[in-house]
Amino acid sequence: MTKGDLEAVRAKDAAHYLHPFTDFKALEAAGSRIIVRGEGVYIFDAEGNRILDGMSGLWNVALGYGRRELADAAYRQMMTLPFYNSFFQTSNIPAARLAAELASIAPPQMSRVFFANSGSEGNDTIVRAVRRYWELLGQPQRDVIIGRHNGYHGSTMAGASLGGMAGMHAQGGLPIPNIVHIEQPYFYELGGDLTEDEFGIKAAGWLEEKILAVGVDRVAAFIGEPVQGAGGVIIPPRTYWPEIQRICDAYGVLLISDEVICGFGRLGTWFGCQHFGVRPDFITFAKAVTSGYFPLGGVIVSDRVSEVLIESGGEFNHGYTNSGHPVGCAIALENLRIMKDEKILENVSNVLGPHLAARFHALADHPLVGVTETLGMVAGLVLMSEKQKKLAFDPTLEVGMICRRHCFEQGVVMRAVGDRMIIAPPLVMTTREIDDMIGVIRRCLDLTLQELTAMGAF
Ligand code: PXG
């Protein structure tokens, strides 16, 4: 790409493209970095810089870039049947096969799948299915869904309402009615003098308190991410999810495991709920189901719920043009085949996860780093002003953004969530590439420290 071509693209981007979750004015002034190509675990920008993608795109490019098998699967399906709908007693081969495949890797007693195009649409589907379920059981007043502060469940009206992002609720009159939130299980910030195990039980107890406050006969479901992703890789204590399960069982509350980030090997299991030993009624999936090669999402439903929906005999008035899109489903089937053939889950559990943990935890000795946490192929650290005293930086300094800028300039994508720095590398990264990535991250921590020192902020 010539310099002139690049400038023309930048100008079009600035003049016409409204980016997601973006301060439009600030971006127009700064200009976008144009990504043109991907290969393995690297992306390349228009100026020819090679950048190690520590975020797998946006948590989704699990198998990395440039996988010919996935492109071939798309091409074959497009030439055979690029689209047909699943509305009027019709189906297609990839959708039927993928539904069966997803049922086979999901926890037992989850054998049916509803397809959407994204995680947000999956969660919207769940809100409607949960409320219909209770209506069909003669309890229409049971319509309250409990989510968590700092949870992320998407950007549609229902998705943003289920999530607990204050900035999202502040725009557009959210949350929608009958969605309430409890505090997140963030041990480092909220653990106080408790042990991690004690804190896990306490944090799960907030759900029980909320159920009792709302009224047992009103609470329909609880939704959570096994590990909070967009909230900053918040890994709950191991006691948390089993206690959540116990509470949901005790009060007959449906459990929704939003696996949009944790699904498909991210934690070393097909789904995060399997790592934590939870039996959900709904699993939301998206992102890595196609390794990001096609937008596809949906919901895996437990038999006890789907049987009520089926036995009612009435129509579920819900669906999308592209529910069960044959191309997306064909790519997903190929993606899952590769994950099995290349033993991606085993590799994450036995090799890559432990390697990442060892290397990432070594960063804890850095003067800026308050704590390091990892599980499978996700990791997070907190930048602290005085780590011994657990003193955070003044938020107006935007220390996370300073560190993120250094990472990008030094050739690695690392995300900042406030002052938490997080990574979720492709599941095909080698141990050597992990070592390289950690080396760059340490250098960026040093550069951040230098910059803060020069500003007189450290
Ligand atoms: N649930 C979870 C747990 C997610 O992480 C969604 C639902 C919504 O999926 P869609 O496909 O509608 O985007 C997500 C999406 C970030 C970031 O900055 C994370 C997501 C999306 C955009 C940005 O970490 N997760």
The CATH number given to whatever domain includes residue 269 is 3.40.640.10
53 and 104 in a single domain? The answer is: no
Choosing from 126, 287, 291, 417 the residue with most ligand 1 atoms within 8 A of its CB, the one to mutate for a pocket test is 287
Looking at the structure, tell me whether residues 327 and 380 fall in a common domain: no
Q: 337 with 425, same domain?
A: no
The number of CA neighbours under 13 Å toward the Cβ of 72 is: 5
Residues 212 and 278 in one domain: yes
Domain boundary among 308, 341, 374: 341
What per-residue confidence (pLDDT) applies to 40? Answer: 98
CATH number assigned to the domain comprising residue 423: 3.90.1150.10
Distance from Cα 113 to the centre of ligand 1, integer Å: 20
Using alpha carbons, select from 345, 322, 325, 316 the residue that is nearest to residue 105.
345
In angstroms, what is the span from residue 387 Cα to ligand 1's centroid? 30
The answer to whether residues 328 and 355 belong to one domain is no
The token pair at 109 is 């007693």
Ligand 1 mean position, distance from CA 60 (Å): 10
Ligand 1 center to residue 195 CA distance, Å? 31
pLDDT at 270: 98
420 and 446 belong to one structural domain: yes
Residue 144 lies in a domain: yes
Q: What is the pLDDT of residue 1?
A: 85
Residues with CB under 6 A from ligand 1: 58, 118-120, 123, 152-154, 159, 225, 229-230, 258, 260-261, 284, 286, 297
Ligand 1 atom closest to the CA of 123, numbered from 1: 7
The pLDDT assigned to 355 comes to 98
Quick one: tokens of 217? Answer: 């006969």
Does residue 189 contact residue 149 with C-beta atoms inside 8 Å?
Answer: no
252 C-alpha vs ligand 1 centroid, how far in Å? Answer: 28
Q: Which domain holds residue 434?
A: 33-66+343-455
Same domain, 217 and 291: yes
Q: Do residue 164 and residue 201 come from a single domain?
A: yes
Same domain, 322 and 355: no
Smallest CA separation from ligand 1 atom 20, residue: 230
Note whether 371 and 382 are within 8 A (CB): yes
Does one domain contain both 122 and 141?
A: yes
Please tell me the distance between residue 230's alpha carbon and the centre of ligand 1 in angstroms: 7
- Whether 192 is in a domain gets the answer yes
Which residue's alpha carbon is at the smallest distance from atom 19 of ligand 1? 230
Residue with tokens 């159920």: 211
Which residue minimizes the CA distance to atom 10 of ligand 1?
119
Given this model, what pLDDT does residue 313 score? 85
DSSP label at residue 458: -
Residue 8 domain-assigned?
no
The count of domains in the chain is 2
Could you tell me if 240 and 200 are in contact, meaning their C-beta atoms sit under 8 angstroms apart? yes
Whole-number Å distance, alpha carbon 159 to ligand 1 midpoint, is: 10
Closest C-alpha residue for ligand 1 atom 18: 230
Average predicted confidence (pLDDT) for the chain: 97
Please, what's the b/e burial string for 164-185 (b: 16 or more CB within 10 A of its CB; e: otherwise)? bbeebbeeeebbeebbbbbbbb
3 state DSSP class of 299: strand
Position 229 in a domain = yes
Q: Look at ligand 1, atom 7, and give the residue with the nearest C-alpha.
A: 153
Domain final position from 324, 341, 358: 341
Task: Please give the chain's pLDDT, 458 residues, in tens.
Answer: 899 999 999 999 999 999 999 999 999 999 999 999 999 999 999 999 999 999 999 999 999 999 999 999 999 999 999 999 999 999 999 999 999 999 999 999 999 999 999 999 999 999 999 999 999 999 999 999 999 999 999 999 999 999 999 999 999 999 999 999 999 999 999 999 999 999 999 999 999 999 999 999 999 999 999 999 999 999 999 999 999 999 999 999 999 999 999 999 999 999 999 999 999 999 999 999 999 999 999 999 999 999 999 999 899 999 999 999 999 999 999 999 999 999 999 999 999 999 999 999 999 999 999 999 999 999 999 999 999 999 999 999 999 999 999 999 999 999 999 999 999 999 999 999 999 999 999 999 999 999 999 999 99
| All residues at 6 or more sequence positions from 386 whose CB lies less than 8 Å from its CB, including other chains | none
Residue 93 within any structural domain of the chain: yes
Is the domain of 262 the same as that of 368? no
120 and 230 assigned to the same domain: yes
